[in-house]
């Protein structure tokens, strides 16, 4: 029965993964179907273990005090990672509130005006802005607003926004690797293994921003001639361009929602000291955003809730159930043992395998399901092989986050950025994207490998 259950769980997961990768249907649909099949076929029909369903769904932890306030005790998550789902949901609501008051458009226009609407400086400034924002807000949201404003500026300044959008996508994923709240893979890794925002800053933040400087130089020299040629034909008169203040729909609402955002950042940075879980931080941000919207305009609160990306949250739920099937049947333990035996007891080889396999796998398939799959693998490697869990966790985070830059489908931010460009008449082909992003990805992952070996070997 054990072998049959492993084959069934693995088959369901692989089929789900393939369907997600094709992009033919919204990814939450194959994830939910995969999760349902895992419960029905693997747990109930083959294993006949209803308690495995309860264990993987993990609803009980939500009602426990230490889920919301774990203090300084780090707990490894199992099954559905409700910390990740609740935190991302809460931050989505907060971000909707910021979008409603014009925060992101104001910030982009402010930065563009700061560099006098010159295209090459906009490239540099927007890359830095993309990387910085992605440290605190998920890179999907960052690209949603940055790509839209970049196209608006491109039409005003008469330049091709494709180079700018490619550079912004790359910067968002690199910047997101610096913190726990940046890229979704980091949220999964951090909440599952009990790492704090500060743990990521200390261990991945330095190399992330070294990588950011390197790719900034790389894209500057790669794109400056194209962008400068556009600028040379244009006489810039800043008075003809939108005033950043015009983006603000209501000054009072703008200041209050910005204050909620700043509070969320403070809570994230200090949650290791305060003992508040990231799920609690997500709930606090959501409640304050919805509460303020309701007090000022009840319909505004309903509008924010309706715009919540339920599909992404359902995708995470189904994904975690499928990964739970692989974990319960021992598939991931077998994979961990294989990696451990291949490494022969060397942490350098283990980190190298995790980093480079994660990078190239995440370039081909969405890095979120890959990260969710690999977390229990490195936990098993730590238990059975005696390898340091933190070293493997940082290798996994850097590999999935930065490796996701390799192709247009490697990370969710890539999909969002290229989709917005295509929708507005600026399609980004695979060839065009990979020509610049793939070499830059290999360069930065190589830097990360050197850093990991020097620091943790």
Give every residue of the chain whose pLDDT is below 70, as ranges. Answer: 1-2, 72-77, 229-240, 297-300
User: What's the whole-model pTM score?
Assistant: 0.86
Q: At what angle do helices 119-133 and 162-176 cross, to 10 degrees?
A: 30
In DSSP notation, 116-180 reads TT-HHHHHHHHHHHHHHHTTTS-HHHHHHHHHHHHHHHHHHHT---HHHHHHHHHHHHHHHTTST
Using alpha carbons, select from 281, 283, 284, 302 the residue that is nearest to residue 293. Answer: 302
User: What's the gap between Cα 124 and its chain centre?
Assistant: 22
Using alpha carbons, select from 131, 89, 173 the residue that is nearest to residue 409. Answer: 173
Q: Is residue 97 part of a domain?
A: no
pLDDT at res. 166: 95
Q: Is residue 180 part of a domain?
A: yes
The answer to whether 82 and 279 have CB atoms below 8 angstroms apart is yes
Q: Is residue 439 part of a domain?
A: yes
pLDDT at res. 96: 87
For residue 428 the two structure tokens come to 């980004």
In DSSP notation, 98-116 reads HHHTTHHHHHHHHHHHHTT
| Number of separate domains in the chain | 1
Q: Is residue 151 part of a domain?
A: yes
Q: Is residue 272 part of a domain?
A: no
CA angle, corner 227, sides to 224 and 229, nearest 5?
105
User: What's the gap between Cα 29 and its chain centre?
Assistant: 20
Q: Is residue 408 part of a domain?
A: yes
Q: Is residue 213 part of a domain?
A: yes
Using alpha carbons, select from 284, 238, 249 the residue that is nearest to residue 103. Answer: 249
pLDDT at res. 341: 87
pLDDT at res. 227: 79
pLDDT at res. 448: 96
At 241 the three-state DSSP class reads: coil
What are the distances in angstroms from CA 373 to CA 232, 259, 333, 351, 396?
A: 49, 36, 11, 16, 11
Residues with Cβ within 8 Å of 48's Cβ and at least 6 positions away in sequence, in order, are: none
pLDDT at res. 231: 59
Residues with Cβ within 8 Å of 155's Cβ and at least 6 positions away in sequence, in order, are: none
Q: What's the CA gap between 151 and 122, in Å, rounded?
A: 12
pLDDT at res. 219: 96
The answer to whether 289 and 100 have CB atoms below 8 angstroms apart is no
For residue 12 the two structure tokens come to 């369901």
Secondary structure letter of residue 243 according to DSSP = P
Range of the domain at 109: 2-57+103-247+309-456
Q: Is residue 371 part of a domain?
A: yes
> 209-213: long-range contacts at Cβ-Cβ below 8 A with a sequence spacing of 24 or more?
209/131, 209/175, 209/178, 210/447, 210/451, 211/174, 211/177, 211/402, 211/444, 211/447, 211/448, 212/127, 212/128, 212/131, 212/171, 212/174, 212/175
The answer to whether 364 and 407 have CB atoms below 8 angstroms apart is yes
């Amino acid at each position: 029965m054990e072998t049959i259950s492993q084959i069934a769980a693995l088959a369901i997961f692989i089929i789900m993964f393939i369907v997600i990768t094709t992009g033919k249907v919204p990814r939450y649909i194959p994830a939910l179907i995969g999760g349902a099949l895992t419960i029905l076929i693997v747990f109930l029909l083959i294993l006949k273990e209803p308690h495995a369903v309860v264990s993987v769904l993990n609803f009980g932890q939500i009602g426990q005090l230490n889920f919301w306030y774990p203090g300084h005790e780090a707990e490894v998550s199992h099954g559905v990672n409700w910390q990740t789902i609740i935190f991302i949901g809460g931050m989505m609501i907060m971000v909707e509130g910021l979008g409603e008051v014009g925060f992101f458009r104001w910030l982009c226009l402010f930065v563009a005006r700061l560099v006098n609407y010159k295209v090459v400086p906009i490239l540099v400034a927007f890359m830095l802005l993309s990387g910085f924002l992605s440290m605190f807000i998920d890179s999907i949201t960052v690209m949603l607003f940055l790509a839209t404003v970049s196209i608006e500026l491109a039409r005003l300044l008469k330049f091709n926004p494709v180079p700018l959008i490619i550079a912004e996508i790359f910067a968002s994923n690199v910047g997101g690797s610096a913190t726990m709240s940046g890229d979704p893979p980091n949220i999964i890794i951090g909440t599952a293994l009990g790492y704090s925002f500060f743990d990521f800053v200390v261990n991945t933040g330095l190399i992330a921003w070294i990588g950011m400087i390197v790719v900034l130089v790389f894209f500057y020299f790669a794109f400056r001639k194209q962008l400068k040629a556009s600028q040379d034909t244009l006489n810039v008169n800043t008075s003809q361009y939108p005033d950043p203040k015009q983006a603000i729909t209501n000054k009072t609402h703008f200041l209050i929602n910005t204050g909620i955002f700043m509070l969320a950042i403070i809570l994230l940075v200090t949650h290791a000291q305060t003992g508040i879980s990231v799920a609690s931080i997500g709930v606090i941000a959501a409640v304050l955003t919805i509460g303020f919207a309701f007090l000022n305009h009840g319909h505004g609160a309903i509008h924010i809730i309706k715009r919540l990306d339920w599909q992404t949250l359902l995708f995470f739920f189904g994904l975690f159930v499928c990964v739970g099937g692989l974990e319960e049947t021992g598939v991931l333990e077998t994979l961990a043992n294989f990696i451990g035996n291949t490494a022969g007891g060397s942490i350098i080889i283990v980190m190298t395998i995790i980093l480079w396999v994660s990078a190239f796998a995440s370039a081909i398939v969405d890095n979120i399901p890959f990260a969710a799959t690999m977390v229990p693998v490195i936990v098993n490697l730590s238990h059975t092989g005696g390898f340091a869990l933190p070293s493997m966790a940082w290798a996994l985070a850097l590999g999935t986050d930065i490796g996701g830059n390799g192709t247009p489908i490697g990370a969710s931010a890539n999909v969002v950025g290229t989709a917005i460009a295509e929708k507005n008449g600026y399609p980004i082909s695979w060839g065009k994207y990979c020509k610049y992003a793939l070499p830059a990805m290999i360069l930065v992952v190589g830097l990360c490998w050197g850093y990991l070996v020097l620091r943790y070997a």
